[in-house]
Chains A and B, each alone.
Chain A
């Protein structure tokens, strides 16, 4: 692994970071103009229709956002606020938006990590099995299951899981992250969160599972026909070992990019799952912001999620040449 390190020139890294910063800038500008499109006065739109907006608050918002200034100055103020993470105050919650978002982040990250790990394990298992039994019964069954998951609305899967596992079987709670009666820490506390996490994590995992399975299957089919696999087989290595130790390593390369995209897009994708399961994360916060038409909070989350995507993409760009030395840096 020393070769790729040598061809990871600083120019490549610098160029990618510059691109990432420009992308974030572009997204902030799009968001700014999206806000301009809102019908009516921008201050009123920002304050929301939750009935929290008194005259003093509106005047305060106008001053804070410089809404009485020319458009380009408003844009500059908007960008400065994002750059300094000074996103304003949400009257509905009585907290600054940055505190609000940071306090919701851990729940979403926990849900993301769990669901992506579940999807990866099952997806790789399914994909490898399907490729090994190409066009035979296991392959057809797995492909059918993957297609079904792909075509099912994830929020509906979530509701059906609640119906089966919470209402009928009583195995898991219907929503939330912890019981009021459960202890805060310790093994019992962890167990309580795990019980609440199971259904939302599975729901979210099903959504990725379909894509991962297809990718691994396609990758395995391509790799399994290569010469080095034939050599491995000729050496008498077991099929199991050939599949998982030899072929899989090269077959999962395309998966890295997609998992990176999923990690990046997770804040956005979690809106539905978190709403269905009342999971106290960023997605649920965004939904509440929409219900209250708290546009400032809404757009802050949107910008932040995009920043998350940009960082994830950047990470993939930097990691990829290390795990796949054949890729050319530009």
Chain B
């Protein structure tokens, strides 16, 4: 409870939570607010926002409701963002924990592999995976986790290397506790706050990368996403710029919200980091 009041003292964090809650609400209620298919034509093409009462945010060049696209797009963004961050966090924690705890050649091998994945430019690797395996939500989640886990692994490894030398860990070893139990039941809970903070940033990055993929036309063709909307609106930049502006602002606000929440969580969960940064 103390940490909740701590979070609320910071208005930027509160703003982040509010924005994020709004996006989550949009995603959850999309099928209730807009029961039809977001790809269906609902009004005259290129209706400007505010021009018609039926489509408050206007329509695109094929008469699709911008607002419906915004709601359904929130679903895809959040699903891809959270799922890929979760996969990346799990893989990163496993690799980082073993590398940091055991050290030696385990560390060498695992870190060399991690470096390989970090060497290929992130977005390019994600693009290539999607190009080879074909665009679908599952492949996109996999490709984004494939490029995000190395950062987690490095962070977790560093934390484990420090924790490994703590007295309580030595105590566990002396007490005859198994390695796995020390890693997951003793050290991991202590490292969790850092992982959680990093994961919120991973979600934001994944959402931005997914939007970039679908902007380029390599998103899942079966779902409408914000990036797809921006990509399809490119042709109308001159006379109907709202088609690009509206989903772009949605993306910006979502990524901003996640970053703000991440910063707030960092202040709340890792007070020693905050002190160090002054």
Contacts and interface: CB of A to CB of B under 8 A. Distances in A.
Given A159-B230, A305-B120, A309-B121, A153 B134 contact: no
B251 interface: yes
A309 B131 contact: no
Given A160-B248, A298-B131, A306 B259 contact: no
A151 B120 contact: no
Nearest to A221: B278
Contacts of B133: 37-39
Contact of B124 (A275, A286, A295): A286
A173 to B, nearest CB: 14
A268 B124 contact: yes
A268 B133 CA distance: 19
B204 A267 contact: no
A79 interface: no
Given A218-B277, A275-B216, A293-B131, A151 B122 contact: no
Contacts of A145: none
B245 to A, nearest CB: 7
B119 A151 contact: no
Interface string A112-156: 000000000000000000000010000000000001101111111
A269 B244 contact: no
Contacts of B204: 151
B123 A151 contact: no
Contacts of B227: 153
A268 B121 contact: yes
Contacts of A27: 116, 119-120
Interface centre among B119, B127, B212 (most CB of A within 10 A): B119
Interface in B131-149: 131-134
Contact of A153 (B112, B120, B121, B212): B212
B121 A267 contact: yes
A147 B230 contact: no
B232 interface: no
Contacts of B125: 268, 302
A218 B237 CA distance: 39
B131 A151 contact: no
A267 B122 CA distance: 11
A299 interface: yes
A271 interface: yes
Interface string A260-276: 00001111110110010
Contacts of A34: 128-129, 132
A148 B256 contact: yes
A142 to B, nearest CB: 15
Interface in B1-26: none
Interface residues of B, number: 44
B73 to A, nearest CB: 13
A291 B218 CA distance: 9
A87 interface: no
A244 B113 CA distance: 40
Given A265-B122, A286-B124, A309-B120, A37 B252 contact: no
Contact of B132 (A38, A275, A310): A38
A30 interface: yes
A313 B119 CA distance: 9
B245 A160 contact: yes
B211 A39 contact: no
Contact of B122 (A152, A222, A268, A293): A268
Contacts of A91: none
A196 B260 CA distance: 35
Contacts of B216: 271-272, 275, 287, 290
Given A148-B256, A267-B124, A272 B212 contact: yes
Nearest to A303: B120
A268 B120 contact: yes
Contact of B115 (A23, A155, A156): A23
Nearest to B218: A290
B121 A269 contact: yes
Interface of A: 22-23, 26-27, 30, 34-35, 37-39, 45, 134, 147-148, 150-156, 159-160, 162-163, 167, 218, 221-222, 225, 264-269, 271-272, 275, 286-287, 290-291, 293, 295, 298-299, 301-302, 305-306, 309-310, 313
Given A152-B255, A163-B244, A306-B119, 14 more contacts: A26-B112, A147-B256, A151-B204, A153-B212, A156-B230, A159-B230, A160-B245, A160-B248, A163-B237, A221-B277, A268-B122, A268-B124, A305-B120, A309-B121
9 contacts: A147-B256, A148-B252, A151-B204, A162-B237, A167-B241, A268-B122, A268-B123, A268-B124, A290-B216
